[in-house]
Amino acid sequence: MTSRPAQTGALPTREKIDSKFKWTLENLYSSDREWEEDYNVVERMIGEIAGFRGTLGNSGEQMLRWLHFADDMNIITGRLGNYAFRRYDENTANTHYQGMMDRVMSQHARTSAATSWVVPEILSIPRDTVETFIRDTEGLEVYAHHLDEIIRMQEHTLTPSEEELLALSLEAMAGPSNVFSMFNDADIRFGTITGEDGGEIEVTKGRYIQLQESHDRRVREDAYRALYSQYGTWKNTLSAMLSGQVKKEMFFARARKYSDTRTMALYEDNIPEAVYDNVVRTVNENLAPLQRSVRLRKEILGLDAVRPWDLYVPLASEANIYFPWEEAVETVREAMQVLGPAYSRDLSIGLTEGWIDVYENQGKTSGAYSAWTYGAHPFVLMNYTNTLKDVFTLAHEMGHAMHSYYTWKNQPPVYGGYTIFCAEVASTCNEMLLVEHMLKTRKDRDLQLQLLFHFIDTIRGTVYNQALFAEFEQFMHRSAERGTPLTVDLLSEKMTELYARYLGSDFGMDPLYAMNWARIPHFYRSFYVFQYATGLSAAVAIARNILDGKEGALEQYLNFLKSGSSKYSIDLLGDAGVDMTSSDPIAATAALMDELLDRVEDLR
């Protein structure tokens, strides 16, 4: 820990940055020429796809030949995209790599079009024939789960001509979601407010969080009113968009013979509906820690009530605590030692041998991510500025990276990815281990408070807020399915009721805040947000078990990291020792929040 400030001044060009802080994309392709060669290989392969059409049901051998061919093509396609996108992200002003990226995307679109017959063809083969193929063909049993994922859609697949009609409707059906994103990303404007320094400042979505973190309450409220009143102005249009989206889902659910939209959304990854109900129920049974955090916020800020514009202002004093890169690496390394010697060794390789692009440079893409395709180590993009938040981002992204790395090392290509349901477990588990480690080893009071509030806010944002949205989504779809129109009043009244119930009596609701239903992009991706709550709770449960030295917990977790998508998500987590159909993981996360609040009270 040091009080050296983050770097300031003009950004360096990429050439000026020491190569030890840059990722090694040469591990994908040593030159653009090598990339071109692979690009042409895929071009040739696209031409060979048609030769498989109509043959997959002929024999197990033929099906296996196709699956191998598809694997090979996917690996090369993935690598081509990985290289072009990473090069582009190094400097988004580079038109050469922009061009390569466009070519990959267009090639990918052609591949998708050329393979669009595959799933329908497999679906047309009777299930017992596929099972016989798997039993009798050496090498095909590896694909049993993959084929099951396809075949189980048979129940909800219609006749070819009906399917054709559904496919024809897709572009028009994307209307509500396209309209919303045009409105929300391009057209809506929030006007200006007077900033902290008295100057005029335009409120944008990008600046909004920063303005909500201002210690000047007037600035926070002005920004809040600027943003929400605009959504309020368009409320009828916005409810029509959302209603259109829900009706689209209802159309597909009915056409494909699902009992309702939620069943359809959870069917694909085979997630039991009990998991969803359990998130909503268990969070509702455990609202006390959330309400306690609101009360504490009220006390620390010295308010009569916490209003919507008080929810994001930081509570810990922002003492200047900075972490140079080397110290961040060392801290993350130490925190993960509890995951055993093999993980530690592999993590060290990842941290130091060309996986990570550390610093910002002119033109580099913003944010942080871990990207990966089968057959090479992952790449982690950072824009490291020495803050505590950056150290957490590093732990988080390396969690994803290690999950990808172990999956690659242990799974065949067909299971080389992982679902959203599982993805955030590995990253959040690392964050959790980092908090625990730092709380144990760093006794500076300001830092301790920052750590505690960081984690409390994470649980509030990821478990409680998302459960609230999940409950709202459920209400919205159920209402529409019962024939109740999704009017502005219906949606706003529900939001108001939910915020009052979740945040408790120390929260002072504001009428504009009821408009929250109008601004959540995820509502255009139905029944998605509950997975944030399950992901974090699973990670908390796993990290707890490991830190408590529970027998078998570490081994189970390491196996989970090696499993990719070789089973359905719920089963993978079950193997990792977490039953997401039970209330335990979410209840334990609520209990942890309570414990963190105790620790804050002790330090105050």
| Residues carrying an active site annotation | 397
Closer Cβ to Zn ion, 242 or 401, answer by number: 401
Shortest distance in whole angstroms from residue 532 CB to Zn ion = 10
Pick the closer one to Zn ion by CB: 183 or 369: 369
Q: Does 462 bind Zn ion (CB under 5 A)?
A: no
Give the tokens for residue 320.
């200047």
In the block, tokens 């679902």 appear at: 419
Count Cβ atoms below 10 Å from residue 269 Cβ, excluding itself: 16
Residues in Cβ contact with 251 at an 8 Å cutoff, skipping those fewer than 6 apart: 173
Nearer to Zn ion, 157 or 428 (CB): 428
Q: Which of residues 330-369 bind Zn ion (CB under 5 A)?
A: none
Query: Is residue 427 involved in binding Zn ion (CB under 5 A)?
Result: yes
Nearest distance from C-beta of residue 368 to Zn ion, angstroms? 9
| Alpha carbon 102 to chain centroid, angstroms | 24
Per rule CB under 5 A, is residue 430 in the interface with Zn ion?
no
Query: Scanning the structure block, which residue is given the tokens 């408070």?
Result: 449
Nearest approach in angstroms of CB 590 to Zn ion is 22
Candidates 237-245, 423-431, 433-441, 548-556; binding stretch for Zn ion (CB under 5 A): 423-431
Nearer to Zn ion among residue 427 and residue 458 (C-beta): 427
- Range in contact with Zn ion (rule: CB under 5 A) among 120-128, 146-154, 422-430, 458-466: 422-430
Nearer to Zn ion, 86 or 400 (CB): 400
- Dist. CA 138–CA 149, nearest whole Å: 20
Which residue minimizes CB distance to Zn ion?
427
**Which region, judged by CB under 5 A, interacts with Zn ion, from 325-333, 424-432, 492-500, 511-519?**
424-432
- Taking CB under 5 A as the binding criterion, the range among 36-44, 420-428, 440-448, 469-477 that sits at the site for Zn ion is 420-428
Q: Strands 356-357 and 192-194, how do they pair?
A: unpaired
CA dihedral 548, 549, 551, 554 (to 10 degrees): 110
* Min dist. Cβ of residue 400 to Zn ion (A): 6
Q: What is the largest CA-CA distance in the chain?
A: 77
Minimum CB distance to Zn ion, residue 564 (Å)? 17
Closest distance of CB 13 from Zn ion, Å: 29
Measured from the CB atom, the residue of 245 and 370 that comes closer to Zn ion is 370
H or E segment and range at residue 381: strand 379-381
Distance set, CA 539 to CA 388, 425, 432 (Å)? 21, 5, 8
Q: Which is nearer to Zn ion, 297 or 377 (CB)?
A: 377
The DSSP output letter for 31 is S
Instruction: Give me the residue label for tokens 């609040």.
Output: 597
Task: Kindly state the tokens that stand for 72.
Answer: 């090979």
3-state helix vs strand vs coil in the chain, percent to 5: 70, 5, 30
Give the residue from 392, 442, 511, 413 showing the smallest Cα distance to 73: 413
Closest CB 211 distance from Zn ion, rounded Å: 25
Helices (H) and strands (E) in the chain, counts: 25, 5
Q: What's the DSSP call for residue 353?
A: T
Q: Which of 560, 561, 541, 563 is nearest to 550 (CA)?
A: 541
Q: Which stretch binds Zn ion (CB under 5 A): 308-316, 421-429, 479-487, 496-504?
A: 421-429
Q: Which stretch binds Zn ion (CB under 5 A): 132-140, 303-311, 425-433, 522-530?
A: 425-433
Q: In this structure, what token pair is assigned to residue 545?
A: 């078990």
133/532 with CB nearer Zn ion: 532
By CB under 5 A, the count of residues binding Zn ion is: 1
Kindly state the smallest distance separating residue 403's Cβ from Zn ion, in Å: 10
DSSP, residue by residue, 451-490 = HHHHHHHHHIIIIIHHHHHHHHHHHHHHHHHTT----HHH
Binding mask 380-419 for Zn ion (x = CB under 5 A): ----------------------------------------
Report the interface residues with Zn ion, using CB under 5 A.
427
